[in-house]
Structure 1
Amino acid sequence: MLAYLDSLESDDEGHNQFQEAESLEFKNTTNDESWDDSDNECLATKQKRLKLSKPRKNTNKKARSFKWEEINLNIREEKVELIEEEKPTIISEIVNRNLAPIDLFKMFFSHDLIDTICIETKRYANQKGYHNFSVSSDDIYKYLATVLLSGYSPVPSRRCYWETRHDTNKALVTNALSRNKFESIHRFFHLNDNSQIDRSDKIYKVRPIVNHINKVSQECIRPLGKYFSIDEAMEPYYGRHSMKQFIRGKPIRFGFKCWCLCTSDGYLIKFDVYTGAGDKIEGKSLGSSVTEKMCLNILPQYSFVFLDNYFTPIPLVKTLSENKLFCIGTIRSDRTEKASLKDLKKEHRGTHYTIHDSASSTTLTRWHDNSQVTVISNDSASSTTLTRWHDTSQVTVISNVQEQGLYKTKGTCRRWSKKQKATVQVDQPSLINMYNKGMGGVDRFDQMRGLYRSRIRSKKWYWPLFRFCLDGAVTNMWYLYRRALKTQNEYISLLEFRRRIVLAILSSPPSNSNTGPKPKFLTNVLTEIRFDGKEHWIDKQETQRRCGNCGKCTKFSCLKCNVGLLPEM
C-alpha cells in the first residue's frame, strides 16, 4: 500500500513538470500560433474572411476630377456646314491631264504591285508542283477586270462567261482571256510568299495589298482635309476562321470586321482588319486603341474626328486633345464617369442639357430625340463640355470642339409630330447637327462599295479581304474622278466608272496565249429548237461558214437557227 502511494506522488511530480513545460511552451509562442475562436470556423468561411482581411493593392489610376458647369445654349442663326478649304491636288491633275478611269486604276494597282502578284502567283504554283505555269502582268490586269465585271454582271457560275450560249456568254471575256487561263490564275492567285510567313501577322497573306492601298489612298488625297470619321465595315465570309465575326442586327452578320478611317463624304484613307484581342493597346479599351492607331501620326492637327459610342471613353478625348485633334462622338451613359447629367427621358421632345469642363477641354451634350442622346466634345486644349438633348429618345455626345463657340449654340431641326399631324421645329444643339453631318463617311463608303461587290468566289479564306481591297480601291478612284468632273459640271455614276475600267482592259488586243482554241463549228441553238422541224428556211449568204452537221464549208445557212447548212444536191 505504501509503495502504491509513493508511486502516486511520483506521478504528481511528473504531471506538475509537464504543466510547467506546457506553460513555458505557450509563453514562447507567437500570436499567430495562439488558439482563437476561428479554429471552429468551417473552411469556406475562413477563406472568405482571410480574403477580405488582406489589404487590396490599388492598381487603378487616380480618379480624374471634373468640374462640370452647366451651359445655356444660345440661338445660332447660320447653318453648320462642313466645308473643306482645300481640294486635293489630284483633282486638278485629273482635269489638266484629262485622265481616264483606267489611268486611275493603274495608279492604285500600279505595275509594281501587279509584278509582285505575278511573282508570288508563279512561286505558289511552283511550290504546288506546276512548274510550267506562267502568267504575265497583262494576264493579271484582265483577271482583275473579269472580277470587277462580276460585280455588275453576275452569273451563277464563273464558267458561264465562257459558254457558247447567248444568255450567259460574254464575248468580251472570251476574247480577252481563255477559261483555262483564268481558272489557273484564280487557283494559284497569291500576294505573299508562304515560305516566309510571319505567324504573328494574321493577315500576312494580304498584307502587301493592304499596305499598298492605304499608302496610295493617302497620297492621292493630299491635302487630307479637315473632317473625318471612324467606324467599322463588314466583308461577308461564311467559312471557318478565327477572325470571323458575328454581329447581331447588322446587314452583314458574318464576316471579317475592318476598321475604316474615311473623310466625311466617303473617301477611304486607311483601313485595318480586326484580328482579335491582340489589336488592343495595354491599359486601353479596344475603341481607344483603334482610334489612336488610325488618327495619330496620320491626320493633320486641328482636324475633326467623328466617332460612335463604341470608340468614345473620356480618356480618349483627352488623348486626342493632347495631339491637337478635335473629337465629337456619342458616348454611352456608363462611360461619362458619373457626370451630373440630367435624365431627359420624361421630358418633351427637343429638350437638351449641356455641361462643360474647362480643365479637360471636354463637352457633354445630352439631347432627347428618338432616344436620349449624350454628346461629349473637347472644345479646345483646355475645356470639356457635356450636352444632353431630348427629341423622342435620349442621346449623349462627347466633344472637344470650340470652333466659333459651337458647343454654346443651338439650332432647330424638322420633326414629324403625331399629335399635331404636321412637321414641327425642334431645338437641336449645334454639336448634334455637326455630328449628324460628319459621322456618315464610313457608312457612305461602305454603301458604295457594296453596290457592285465582286461576285466571283474562292475557297481561300483571304479572298474576301482581297475583294475588300479591290472594291474599296475602285470606290476611292470613283470618288476622285467624280470630284474632278464636278468642277466641269459633269457627273459619272459608279456603275459607269467600273464599266469603263473593264472595257478598257478587256477590249485590248489579246495575246496568243490568252485565247483558247476555237471549235471547228459552233452551234449556239438549243437542240430542241434546231430539230423541231418548224419554219426552217435555207438562205444563201455571201461568205462561207462551216456546216453545223458535217463541218464542211458552205454559203447556206438556216434563217431560224443561224447555223451553216450544206444542202444535199
Structure 2
Amino acid sequence: MAVRSCWILAGTGTHCRIRRSRASQTCSMGDMSGEYAGHARTGMFSASKNCVQILTTFDMGPSTKRKRLQPVVEVLQDSGSDSYSEDNDDDDNEQPAPQAKRLSKPSKSAVRPTTWHKADLKNTALPEYQHFTPDCIDLPFQYFTRYFDDQIIRHITYQTNLYAAQKDINTTFTTNENEILTFVTILIYMGIVELPSVDDYWARETRVPQVANLMSSKRFRLLKRVIHFNDNTMIYGTSDRFFKIRPLFNPQSVDEVMVAYKGKKAGKLRQYIKSKPDKWGFKLFARASEDGFIHDMVLYQGKTTLEAHDVPLKPEQEGLGATSQIVSVLVSTMSFPTTTAIYADNFFTSLELVRYLRDHNCRYTGTARENRIGKPLLRTIKEMVPRGCDYVTSDDGILAVRWKDNKTVTLLSTDMGVGPMSTVIRYCSETKKREPVSYPAVIRSYNANMGGIDKSDMLVHLYRTPMKSKRWYLRLFAYIIDVSLTNAWVVYKRDCKALAPPSSRRSSSSFVESLTSSTDVPKPVRGHRSRTPNLAVRFDMSLFHAPVHGERQTCKHCSRKGNIMSLRLPCTCCQIVFCAVHRVTLICWIRAN
C-alpha cells in the first residue's frame, strides 16, 4: 500500500509535520538525520520536556495531550515535564555562560509584497513509498544498537574514565564498554519493572535477578556518580549551556519533546510551560516521522540555541524569525527534502517561512496565527459565521485557507489544495440536527499527518528510564536511551509487518535478555550475608534469651564500631551475638547504638 511520508514540527503550543517520500535510512544512531528504510512519514516539532517534544524536564512526563482545532483539526502541543526527585549524587554543577547574541529577527524591508487572488492550489502527488521487509528479522537488541551504537558507548567509556581521573574519585577506578552497556541495560530494565527505590532491586525482599545478577548495587551507584559525556576542561569560554550532554545529541536525530525535570540544578535551562501536563523540563525542537521515529533535534537554550547547535545560518535564513530559523535548520538535515511534505503548528508557521521553504522546493502545510500571514483576501474570523471555508492563493503559489467548524482555523500550504472537497457531519445547536459541513482536503491532510509527535511521546512515556540525580544532564542521557529504544521499536514493528510483533514491554524485556546473552558480563561477587533476626522475636521480653555455644560470629555492636571480636555464643532465640563487654549492657531486645 502506498504511503506518503511526513515530517512533523511542533513547538510551544503548536506542531508541524512533513509528509515525505521514503527512501533508505541509515541505521546508525550516529547519523539519525538520514531516514531509515522502513519509515513512512516524518515529522518535526518543538517542545517546552519540551519533547517536544522537547521535554522541559528530562524526566519524561505523561504523553502529550491532543487539542483539536475544531473537532477535526488537531493542534499538537509540546509535552510538558513532570517533577522528578533527586538523589545525593556528587558532581560538579558548573554551567557554561550564556551568550548575549540574540536570534535574528526578520527585516521588515526584506518582506516581499504578496498578491492574493481567488484560486485553489493544484495538488501534486509525492512519489509513492513501499516498505520492503528484510529477509531476516534481527533481535530487538540489534535494532537498539543501530541507534545507541558502539561509537556512543566508546565515547561514554572514555569520558567516564577521564572524569574519574580528573576528580580522583577512586585511583583504581576504570570501566569498559561492556560495563557501560550493562549499566544502560539495567536502566532500561528499571524502566520496565518499576520499584519505589533503586536499592529495592538489590534488597533481599524485592530483589530483581535481571538487575542484581548483572552488577552489584555498590558498582551501579559508583558508575552513576562518575558517568560523564564531555571533557570538563573544555567548558570554559563556550556559550553552549548543554555542553555536558552535547556529544550525545550531535550524532543523533530526535523528535521534539519535553523532558520532565523539576530540579533547580539546571538553572535557566529548565523551562516552565503552564499549558503542558509536565510543566517543568528541558525544551527541545525536533523532527519525527508519523509513526513516532525521531530524526533530528535542537536543544533550546535561549539566545544561543542555534549557535550551540553548530549549524551556520545562510544569508536567506538570517532574515527569518527565530522559530522559522529553527524549522529551516531542522529541514536542512533531511536527506530528501524535495520529496517531503512538512507539517507544523502555528508556533512555527509564518508567510516568510512558507515562502523560504517553497523557494527550496520543500512542501509545507501548517496552521498559522493571524499576525503572521499578512493580509490575504479572506473573510475575517468574525465574518466566518456559518460553518465552511474560504481560501485564496498568492501569486507565488501559497494557499491560505480559513475553515470554520466549531471554531475557526487558518492554514498556509504549498502542498495541498482545498479540493477535492469532502463533508463531515456536525451537530448544529440552532437547528438541533446533525448537518454536513464542507471539509477541505488540506485540512484532512493536516489532521492525518500530525500525530507522529504524540506517538513518539507516548512510546517514550510507556517505560521511561529512571534517572534521579542532582546532575541535571543525566535526565537528558536517560531520554537519549528512551528515544533509541523507541526508534528501534518503531523500525522493528515495520520489519515485522508480516508477522505479529510482541508487545512493547516484551520487546524491551527481550532486549535485556539479548544483551546479557551476547556480552560477557562478570557476575558480581557477594560476601557472606549476615543473618538479620526477626524483630518481633528479638524484642519480645517474654521469651528466654540465653547464649548457646555455636559457630564463631562477630559481636554486632563491636562490628559497627570497627572493632571485630569473634565469639561462639549467639542468642538461642534471635542468634544475635554480643561480646562479654556488651553482654551486660546490651541485651537482645535493646538496640545497639
TM-score, normalised relative to structure 2: 0.66
Counterpart residue identity of residue 516, structure 1:
V
Note if contact 2:467-2:478 (Cα within 8 Å) is conserved in structure 1: no
CA distance, structure 1, for counterparts of residue 198 and residue 324 of structure 2: 42
Give the structure 2 partner of residue 103 of structure 1: 142
Cα deviation, residue 335, structure 1: 1.1
Note if contact 2:261-2:270 (Cα within 8 Å) is conserved in structure 1: yes
Percent of aligned pairs sharing the same letter: 27
Give the structure 2 partner of residue 426 of structure 1: 437
Pairs aligned (count) = 429
Residues 125-136 of structure 1 mapped to structure 2, 5 A cutoff: 125-129=164-168, 130-136=170-176
Q: Which runs of 5+ in 1 are unaligned?
A: 1-58, 218-230, 368-389, 534-548, 553-562, 565-569
Give the structure 1 partner of residue 388 of structure 2: 351
Q: Secondary structure at the match of 1:205?
A: coil
Counterpart residue identity of residue 212, structure 2:
T
Note if contact 1:356-1:362 (Cα within 8 Å) is conserved in structure 2: yes
Which one of the candidate residues 295, 303, 323 is aligned to 2:360? 323
Counterpart residue identity of residue 526, structure 2:
P
Give the structure 2 partner of residue 396 of structure 1: 410
Give the structure 2 partner of residue 209 of structure 1: 248
Over 3 Å counting, the alpha-carbon distance change for 1:264 and 1:81 in structure 2 is: farther
Is 1:158 the equivalent of 2:198?
yes
Is 1:294 the equivalent of 2:341?
no
Note if contact 1:158-1:456 (Cα within 8 Å) is conserved in structure 2: no
Cα deviation, residue 365, structure 1: 0.3
Cα deviation, residue 286, structure 1: 1.6
1:336-370 deviations in Å (ceiling 9; x for gaps): 1122220244645531100111x321000001xxx
Counterpart residue identity of residue 503, structure 2:
S
Give the structure 1 partner of residue 346 of structure 2: 309
Q: Whose helix proportion is higher, 1 or 2?
A: 1
Cα deviation, residue 179, structure 1: 0.7
Residues 410-449 of structure 1 mapped to structure 2, 5 A cutoff: 410-418=421-429, 424-449=435-460
Q: Secondary structure at the match of 2:269?
A: coil
Give the structure 2 partner of residue 178 of structure 1: 216
Give the structure 2 partner of residue 44 of structure 1: none
Residues 59-458 of structure 1 mapped to structure 2, 5 A cutoff: 60-61=108-109, 63-71=111-119, 85-87=129-131, 92-93=133-134, 96-129=135-168, 130-165=170-205, 168-197=206-235, 199-214=238-253, 232-240=256-264, 241-279=267-305, 282-300=318-336, 301-345=338-382, 347=384, 350-357=387-394, 359-367=395-403, 390-402=404-416, 406-418=417-429, 424-458=435-469
Over 3 Å counting, the alpha-carbon distance change for 1:413 and 1:194 in structure 2 is: same
Cα deviation, residue 331, structure 1: 0.4
CA distance, structure 1, for counterparts of residue 453 and residue 352 of structure 2: 24
Note if contact 1:213-1:473 (Cα within 8 Å) is conserved in structure 2: no
1:429-450 deviations in Å (ceiling 9; x for gaps): 1100000111221221112112
Cα deviation, residue 189, structure 1: 0.5
Give the structure 2 partner of residue 35 of structure 1: none
Counterpart residue identity of residue 344, structure 2:
L
Cα deviation, residue 150, structure 1: 2.0
Which one of the candidate residues 457, 478, 485 is aligned to 1:474? 485
Is 1:493 the equivalent of 2:533?
no
CA distance, structure 1, for counterparts of residue 433 and residue 466 of structure 2: 45
Give the structure 1 partner of residue 20 of structure 2: none
Note if contact 1:313-1:336 (Cα within 8 Å) is conserved in structure 2: yes
1:250-303 deviations in Å (ceiling 9; x for gaps): 111111011110112221111121111223664421211110000025241131
Give the structure 2 partner of residue 379 of structure 1: none
Note if contact 2:215-2:524 (Cα within 8 Å) is conserved in structure 1: yes
Over 3 Å counting, the alpha-carbon distance change for 1:131 and 1:423 in structure 2 is: farther
1:165-194 deviations in Å (ceiling 9; x for gaps): 1xx221221111001110111000011211
Note if contact 1:350-1:428 (Cα within 8 Å) is conserved in structure 2: no
Note if contact 2:178-2:519 (Cα within 8 Å) is conserved in structure 1: no
Over 3 Å counting, the alpha-carbon distance change for 1:522 and 1:334 in structure 2 is: same
CA distance, structure 2, for counterparts of residue 520 and residue 252 of structure 1: 43
Over 3 Å counting, the alpha-carbon distance change for 1:340 and 1:302 in structure 2 is: same
- Relative contact order higher in (CA < 8 Å, ≥ 6 apart): 2
Give the structure 2 partner of residue 387 of structure 1: none
Q: Secondary structure at the match of 1:124?
A: helix
Note if contact 2:140-2:507 (Cα within 8 Å) is conserved in structure 1: yes
Q: Which runs of 5+ in 2 are unaligned?
A: 1-106, 307-312, 542-549, 554-573, 576-593
CA distance, structure 1, for counterparts of residue 215 and residue 434 of structure 2: 58
Counterpart residue identity of residue 511, structure 2:
I
